[in-house]
Amino acid sequence: MQIKNNKTKQLTLIIGTAMFGLVLFSQTASATSLTADFGVGENLNLRVDGVEMRDWAGSVNIDVDGVRSLALCVDLFTSMNVNHTYGTTIGTEVTIDNGGRVAWLMENEMPSLSGVSQLAGLQLAVWDIVHDNGNGLSTGRIRQSTAHTTDAAAVNEATALIALSLGHSAADGIVYNNYNLHDFSKVQTLMSVPVSANSVATSTPEPQSIGMMAMGGLAGLWMKLRRRK
């Protein structure tokens, strides 16, 4: 099911300051549940394993046992429903391919990014680094679309971030291994870092958007962070 989101989410990324130790403790001490929602980004046309699809690319607002923070998807090949409660177990960046490189990007570059294309580009860079070892978006499993236009600004941002992250690593990644509570099946894996733990994305929906959200609630609208293959 494709995300039904024809307009780019217009949100503001607010970078908060928090002490490393306190934030890390609050995120990992007793996390049992997680909910996620759209942050800053856009739907992008991609070619994934040779299949054309449209995926949400951008930051993800998460709430882990009442503690809000920002995350990115580090697993393009599973899906997750927004505003649905999942169980989660906490891991570190070493559990993700090139996780240290992703953590470095999130720690050093994510706080300075605010535009829609910038955050979409960061997410593209993360997917390419995790799934294709950072070989660029013209080859490998994750590529820009050949059938439709992929936001050129997001692709350029991703290319720059992939190159910038080469040879860098950080050891403070917080990985959320999420699963369905009813059958314990795996859903999308997310990553955060302490510096972004209090960086909460907020939004002021347009009147049209408010109406759509109300209709969606009444109809039990089921949205995903990405399209299920």
Q: Let me know if residue 46 belongs to a domain.
A: yes
> Which pLDDT score, from 0 to 100, does residue 78 have?
94
**Residue 221 or residue 81, greater confidence:** 81
Task: Tell me the three state secondary structure of residue 70.
Answer: strand
In three-state form (DSSP H/G/I as H, E/B as E, the rest C), the secondary structure along 93-139 is HHHCCCHHHHHHHHHHCHHHCCCHHHHHHHHHHHHHHHHHCCCCCCC
> Which pLDDT score, from 0 to 100, does residue 1 have?
27
Q: Let me know if residue 25 belongs to a domain.
A: yes
Mean pLDDT for all residues in the chain: 81
In angstroms, the CA 126 to CA 72 distance is 8
Q: Let me know if residue 88 belongs to a domain.
A: yes
> Which pLDDT score, from 0 to 100, does residue 4 have?
36
Least-confidence region, from 61-70, 98-107, 150-159, 194-203: 194-203
**Residue 203 or residue 117, greater confidence:** 117
Kindly state the average pLDDT of the residues 187-194. 96
Kindly state the average pLDDT of the residues 100-115. 96
> Which pLDDT score, from 0 to 100, does residue 20 have?
34
Q: Let me know if residue 229 belongs to a domain.
A: no
Report the amino acid identity of residue 128. D
Q: Let me know if residue 48 belongs to a domain.
A: yes
**Domain of residue 73, residue span:** 13-219
For 141-185, what is each residue's pLDDT tens digit?
999 999 999 999 999 999 999 999 999 999 999 999 999 999 999
Extract the tokens encoding 24: 């890390």
Q: How many domains does the chain have?
A: 1
Going by C-beta distance under 8 Å and a sequence separation of 6 or more, which residues neighbour residue 219?
none
> Which pLDDT score, from 0 to 100, does residue 200 have?
40
Residue with tokens 């942050």: 39
Cβ 150 vs Cβ 44: under 8 Å: yes
Q: Let me know if residue 4 belongs to a domain.
A: no
pTM: 0.77
pLDDT band at 22 (very low <50, low <70, confident <90, very high): very low
- Partnered with residue 175 across adjacent β-strands are 91, 191
